[in-house]
Structure 1
């Protein structure tokens, strides 16, 4: 994959350098109107399963195990190819709704995608 992958909270203002803006949450972010999101794609099918999302609960103590389990889910997810194709085209910003900017599925997904490109 040749593209650049960044992450950003979906509630943060869009910036000109974001490239394609892709929401990777399974659920629509609370309080955000769809017309205000400035999305190019919503790929909820690459988000963690409901079971994994609930188990993780954004607990930093579970972060390493969450990343491992999420990688297992991603390895068997045929929709991942759609996201990889977008990344090959250029800059993609993975959007998420979580408050924690360091421990969320977009950060884990970006790391997973980067690991597959090398």
Structure 2
């Protein structure tokens, strides 16, 4: 399959958004970019603005997907979140979630095996 990582990553983000919508999140932004980096999904969950990193893997051979959101990645996400909040003037609480997805390719198409939302994944 051509560009496996991109296909599986895009599939994972689509599945994450569908799952978040089913769980009453209101999607505010997707793939928000600024000079500091990118956040996959920005949503509202109740009174919280939630900055969500989506990690999709084909298996857990090298660890669970959330483990890829290391200290360096967390710092970048926090920087982007600060920039976003400064420009949008939100005053509600904030939270950082990670959505981890395990997906496989079957018959040249991605198929989701599992999905998990880790709320308050880091501070």
TM-score, length basis structure 1: 0.34
The structure richer in strand per residue is 2
TM-score, length basis structure 2: 0.33
The structure richer in helix per residue is 1
| Larger Rg belongs to | 2
- Greater RCO between the two (CA within 8 Å, min separation 6)? 1
